[in-house]
Structure 1
Amino acid sequence: MNQLYFIKKEKLEWRETTAPVINGSLQAIVRPFAAAKCDLDDIYLFNNLNTKLNIGSVLGIVNKDFHRLFGQNFFKGPFPFGHECVAEVVEIGDQVKTIKPGDIATVPFQISCGSCINCNNGVSGSCSNTPPISAYGFGTHLQFGGAMSDLIKVPYADAMLLKISEHIDPIHLASLSDNIPDAYRNVGPELEKNPDKSILVIGGKVKSIGLYTVLIAKAMGASRIDYMDYSNERLELAKRCGANNVYGFSSKITEQYDIVVEANSDKQGLFKAIKFVRPNGLISSSGIYLKKMKMPLIEMYSKGVTFKTGIANARPDAEKVLKLITAKKLNPELVTTKIDSWDNAIEAFLTKTTKVIVNRPRLFSSN
């Protein structure tokens, strides 16, 4: 079968590889037909990231815990590319109960068993029965294949696959595997308790998650949603997604907010978040900080700030977002900036724009 591989900076390549087979009763084989480029993919697609991390580690710039947690060559090619997709079920193991061949499902990027204590508590990103950071489309040390493949194996089909109704156009749900539930993590739990919150999203390197956060906050009834970024494209997208106000990155803002979402992944954005959050407010960070960071803890202490960060729990939070989509309160299509064909995936994914999705015809009828 064909599988797209990341080779090195700005180089992707189709390769022939062995097709997966079912060898366990809880497994499924699925065929992705819509796949998206994650915000994190851009970081290593357009940078010699693995080399920079290794050099930075030697120089003491990169946090030494990165290699301890993720391995020495997490971003070193070649490895199968992609971890956000919607797929059709092709084959199932004899104990799979919730899906059947022909069903459409979103495939969470994390491998999770659904039965351990962490999975049962909604923490699928830290499944106790899989190695840490087990995921599709990342590195060589925990490889489960990539979304840009003719077929991929799902080891725990009932626990992982989230069925999508035939009444919903699935193409723009490709990022329901990762970026969209990561956005839900930023504001969803707080807005479930009380939607009367003011929110500022500081966008940047985490391109689409900040915009999906705007969509989710609006769908859940936040009282005010403002957006800040240095990208004109994303400022326009934020308006389209329903932000009340948009600001350039150097704008002077006098307001303070109940929740500030840091989707900038840079020291400047993080410090702006601390400045703009209200006393006893929440900062939720989607940024990944590979370098050593000094947090202004005394300022955070004086304001009573709660700071939240972490890997998304893709499967349980995707289910919550899908309910908003099914109720027609949320339209992920508003964040999509480029759709292309599966065959043109290499050119499409090397386009520097906010959210790229590629798709191909389905095997099974959509009727």
Structure 2
Amino acid sequence: MTTSIVGGKFMRALMFRGPMDLEWEDVETPRILDPRDALVRPLAVARCDLDPAIAIGLYPMKGPFVMGHEMVGEIVGLGEAVAGFKPGDRVIVPFQLSCSACDPCKRGLTNACSEVASGTAFGLGPHGGVDLGGALAECVRVPWADVMLISLPDNVDPITAAGIPDNVSDGYRCVAGPLRERPESDVLVVGGLAPSVGLYAVMAAVGLGARSVVYVDDDAERLGLASSLGAEVVDARGSWTELRLDRKFPIVVDANVLDAGRNLAFRSVEPCGTVTSVSGGASAMSSLPLQKMYNKGVRYEIGRVHAVATARTVLNLVTNGTLDPARLVSSVVPFSEAVAGMTASGTKVVFVNDLT
């Protein structure tokens, strides 16, 4: 038996139509299409680092599509095959769609689920594979809900957990694997256009026992946040190209995603060390120093976080106090003000649902 408490044929959703062209519009309310579907009413939606870049046209995408993909919500409808949940439960919704049954998913490579189009995710329209709608709306349909949804403990606030579906998990995975291989290592994080991911990487590295964490950026607010998290900070304003650090690092995170920051990451990694980039970059990657990387034996990792496989571990670290994503929340903005909030200053904006 399908359970649903959703009413009305239409709902409000934040539609992206082009650069600096965002507007709340009436769209068709999603409904349960499969016995394994759930309908979720978003409670708190974190602004992903990618969202402002989409909104201003730095990361070119063609609209229209509904924005928002870092979501904590409340179940308002369930397909008859979804066990372990009930209407009213608060849940985290990882941003990628993953079946958890195909070979890649069973191996923990949930970003590479073979049962959906590559990259299928909420809040990115057809650019994310299949258009699933977005979290900045009154309701979202979640396929494969029995394996996609993660129960939110009563003692974790939705605002604190809102970034776990993507950016918090992304920052964590950048350092967790390398620190498992080389415990108590020194970690370098190069900050920039992925502002919260870089700082979540700092938070995770400190929490997971890195010997030291160095954070490089040219933004005063982020440098201050990194320092408060326990990192040694280096101000790179006006000196990205010439900057040389006083030591090499076995673990490096590139959250800058521009050539100058990425090249600093490669200059600063020690022989046979690991550099992890959190984005394909906002500029061409023709400047990759491949011969130097080859000679140095650099392991270069790039790609999306495996969100479904990672988010539960991250939630456990939040629950036990190792990670505290709320420390990076710069402002809490109602859905009704999300058009302005999408491009507002601040490291991590969280939108809260005031529509329903």
What is the TM-score when the length of structure 2 is the normalising length?
A: 0.91
Aligned to 1:91: 77
Q: 1:206 aligns with which of 194, 209, 226?
A: 194
Structure 2 residues not aligned, in runs of 5+: 1-10
Aligned to 1:55: none
> Is 1:163 aligned to residue 155 of structure 2?
no
Greater mean deviation of Cα atoms: 251-260 or 12-21: 251-260
Q: Aligned residue pairs: how many?
A: 339
* CA–CA distance in structure 1, aligned partners of residues 286 and 312 of structure 2: 34
SS where residue 97 of structure 1 aligns? coil
Alignment-mate amino acid for residue 330 of structure 1 = L
Q: 1:248 aligns with which of 224, 231, 236?
A: 236
Within-5 A mapping of 1:1-367 = 1-47=11-57, 49-50=59-60, 75-140=61-126, 142-249=130-237, 250=239, 251-289=243-281, 291-360=284-353
* CA–CA distance in structure 1, aligned partners of residues 77 and 119 of structure 2: 26
Contact 1:255 1:276 (C-alpha < 8 Å) held by counterparts: yes
SS where residue 44 of structure 1 aligns? helix
Structure 1 residues not aligned, in runs of 5+: 51-74
- Aligned-residue CA RMSD in angstroms? 1.7
SS where residue 17 of structure 1 aligns? strand
Shift of 1:304: 1.6
Aligned to 2:5: none
Q: CA separation of 1:243/1:196 partners in 2, compared to 1, >3 Å: closer, same or farther?
A: same
SS where residue 301 of structure 1 aligns? helix
SS where residue 140 of structure 1 aligns? helix
Contact 2:125 2:132 (C-alpha < 8 Å) held by counterparts: no
* CA–CA distance in structure 1, aligned partners of residues 140 and 88 of structure 2: 15
Contact 1:205 1:263 (C-alpha < 8 Å) held by counterparts: yes
Greater mean deviation of Cα atoms: 327-336 or 235-244: 235-244
When you count helix as a share of all residues, which structure comes out higher? Answer: 1
SS where residue 163 of structure 2 aligns? helix
Q: CA separation of 1:292/1:284 partners in 2, compared to 1, >3 Å: closer, same or farther?
A: closer
Runs ≥4 residues deviating over 6 A: none
* CA–CA distance in structure 1, aligned partners of residues 269 and 330 of structure 2: 30
Shift of 1:362: 10
What is the TM-score when the length of structure 1 is the normalising length?
A: 0.88
Shift of 1:242: 2.0
Shift of 1:140: 3.4
Alignment-mate amino acid for residue 174 of structure 2 = N
Q: Deviations over 1:6-51 (max 9, x none)?
A: 122222101111111112111100000101111111212122643x
Alignment-mate amino acid for residue 347 of structure 1 = A
